[in-house]
Amino acid sequence: MEAKTLEENCTTASKLALIRDGAIAGFPIFLGYLPIAITYGVLASQAGLSISELTLMSVLVFAGAAQFMGAQMIMAGSGLLEIVVATFVLNFRHFVMSLSFMNRLKPLSFKSKFALSFGLTDETFTVSSLHPNEARMPHGALFYASLILVSYFSWVGGSFLGGMLGEIIPDRLSQSMGIALYAMFIGLLVPSVKKEWRIGLIAVVSMLINYLFMINGVSDGWAIVIATVLASFLGVFFLKEAEDE
């Protein structure tokens, strides 16, 4: 009886620790999303969306670049089909990312994987991918759920604030805060490159492919998909045992 309570206490403690660690890992995303979400809220309300509409878009879509594009296209008077197709193209990269993410989460139950897949963005994906060990822990899904929810609340809350209050962050500051997510991506990449320089090569090749396609008029969405798929293929030859379990 007592032993059982102790065991229960232990699982509760470890669950709480996972939730806390997930929130800590998600905090840079929280910080990075906030100014962008507020800017989106401002722009979307200028585009003619009501507060509830622009917040609903954040709740249901949860994809920064696509929402900016969507708001701009609504303002420009584009049609439903045009906007939906453009969104599909821009967000198709999430399919490739999700395939990688789900493969890493293999030890988790289908239900957990399915639920977590809804919260996949560029940022939650990259941060989660660099924390692969939690997937093998009992209740590890809590770590990823917490990371995603922290990001999600920042995105949805920031959108609402932007729509409600308008430009609450001075222009120059919010402009400068646009570097935040890029800095986070860099901060995620550098430690991996220090451990394995070939990872840096994969990233640089991806940058160059992306750049080449973009300057040749390929849309951002497809350029990122093509660059990600092609450059990561180098991993087949480069990442021997280092990344395999």
Partner 1 sequence: MILAIIVGMSIVTIVPRFIPAFIVGKVKFPNWMNRWLNAVPYAALGALIFPGIMNVIPERPWLGILGGAAAILISFFGVNVIFAVIGAIVTVYLLNTYNVLDLFQFLGV
What is residue 61's DSSP assignment?
A: T
Contact yes or no for 55/160 (Cβ under 8 A): yes
Contact yes or no for 41/164 (Cβ under 8 A): yes
Give the nearer residue to partner 1 in terms of CB position, either 11 or 153.
153
Contact positions with partner 1 (CB under 8 A) in 216-245: 223-224, 227-236, 238-240, 243-244
Using CB under 8 A, pick the residue from 12, 153, 182, 197 that binds partner 1. 182
Contact positions with partner 1 (CB under 8 A) in 56-115: 56-57, 60-63, 66-67, 70, 74, 80, 83-85, 87-88, 91-106, 110, 113-114
Give the other-Cβ count within 10 Å of 16's Cβ: 11
Q: Cβ of residue 138: shortest distance to partner 1, in angstroms? A: 19
Q: Cβ of residue 3: shortest distance to partner 1, in angstroms? A: 35
The Cα 87–Cα 103 span in angstroms is 25
Count Cα atoms within 13 angstroms, Cβ side, for 183: 10
Contact positions with partner 1 (CB under 8 A) in 132-171: none
Per-residue x/- mask for partner 1, residues 18 to 47, rule CB under 8 A?
---------xx--xx---------------
Q: Cβ of residue 1: shortest distance to partner 1, in angstroms? A: 38
Give the nearer residue to partner 1 in terms of CB position, either 34 or 142.
34
Contact yes or no for 184/32 (Cβ under 8 A): yes
Using CB under 8 A, pick the residue from 15, 23, 126, 149 that binds partner 1. 126
Using CB under 8 A, pick the residue from 122, 150, 158, 162 that binds partner 1. 122
Count Cα atoms within 13 angstroms, Cβ side, for 6: 3
The Cα 77–Cα 150 span in angstroms is 34
**Of 10-18, 147-155, 160-168, 198-206, which part binds partner 1 (CB under 8 A)?**
198-206
CA distances from 94 to 87, 178, 230, 237 (A): 12, 21, 15, 24
Q: How many residues bind partner 1 (CB under 8 A)?
A: 98
Using CB under 8 A, pick the residue from 46, 168, 183, 219 that binds partner 1. 183
Contact yes or no for 107/136 (Cβ under 8 A): yes
